[in-house]
Amino acid sequence: MKRVLSFISVFALLLTSCTGPQGPPGFDGFDGIDGIDGQDGGLIVASAFEIEVNFNADNNFEFVEAYGFEVLPSDVTLVYIEWENDEGEPIWRLLTQTEYFDNGVLVYNYDFTQQDVRFFLDGTIDFNTLDDTWTQNQAFRVVVVPADNIDGLDTSNFDVIMNANAIKSFDIR
């Protein structure tokens, strides 16, 4: 029995140390969207832009902006509003943002699709009674982030999103 085990051990050792000619190269893998070869995979890094919006009755207190770049169904759009300014340094807040007045509530809000982002006023206040401070020249920063890049991040902190996605500048629209 020992001879049989020794023979099997030596035979196995010989087989593992054998080398031969290299085989043919394997097939190229898929790349792109859903494994379809040759199509771009969309965003792999965050894309961003800044826009100034005027809300009024003529535009129904909303504004729609096309991205101008491809957005995948899994991508996440974050919108920040310049809420205040500290000695020339803008302070950005993640939407939604709510302001309370004696005669109602004003909410800055947004929604998005794969094609565009919509900024709009919401709330109980009559938007026509608002001072221009609340409706004109509202600066927004839009950041479209691949879903994999956002997991576990504090999205309310603008600087965290900027640093995590290596965003250095915003296209001004």
| pLDDT tops 80 at residue 28 | no
* pLDDT, tens digit (0-9, with 9 covering 90-100), for 53-79: 999 999 999 999 999 998 999 899 999
* pLDDT, tens digit (0-9, with 9 covering 90-100), for 71-107: 999 899 999 999 999 998 999 999 999 999 999 999 9
pTM, 2 dp: 0.69
Q: So where are the chain's domains?
A: 42-172
Question: Between the CA of residue 101 and those of 48, 54, 61, 148, what are the distances in Å?
Answer: 32, 20, 18, 39
CATH of domain 42-172: 2.60.40
